[in-house]
Amino acid sequence: MSKRRRYFKRPEQAVTAICLELETTGFNYQKWGAQQHCKQGDWLVNNNGDVYTVDAETFSQTYQQVSEGKFVKVTPVWAEQTDRDGSIKTKEGESHYKAGDYLVFNNEDGSDGYCVSADKFLSMYQTDKP
């Protein structure tokens, strides 16, 4: 793996999101090659057609509302490009990645991670602060 670097979400990369403020035990869904689990209070996110859930605590710590139902990730992430296929444990389950994809972490210590394809990552993130 290459060295982990700090990146910032491009400001034009807003997502549409809604908090699952329902009385529910959550639900399971298939995404990223494995089963994911959403809990009450998590967020259902539409990221330019890519739909998934984000843990409630992570969402509140990393996203800021810019208009009704629209949010932008305002905290940096730390990411590294992979050199082999693999998987990563996430707050929602497990995600599988291919060589060349990025492992992205919400925390500098490498916690709260997920994977993103190289093309998608490079279109969403930049090394300079917006």
Q: What ranges do the domains of the chain cover?
A: 5-126
In the three-class reduction of DSSP (H, G, I as helix; E, B as strand; rest coil), residue 68 is classed as: coil
Q: Please write the tens of the pLDDT for every residue from 46-83.
A: 999 999 999 999 999 999 999 999 999 999 999 999 99
The pTM for the full model equals 0.86
Q: Please write the tens of the pLDDT for every residue from 2-25.
A: 589 999 999 899 999 999 999 999
* Distance between CA atoms of residues 79 and 116, nearest Å: 10
Tell me if 113 sits within 8 A of 90, measured CB to CB.
Answer: yes
* Distance between CA atoms of residues 24 and 33, nearest Å: 25
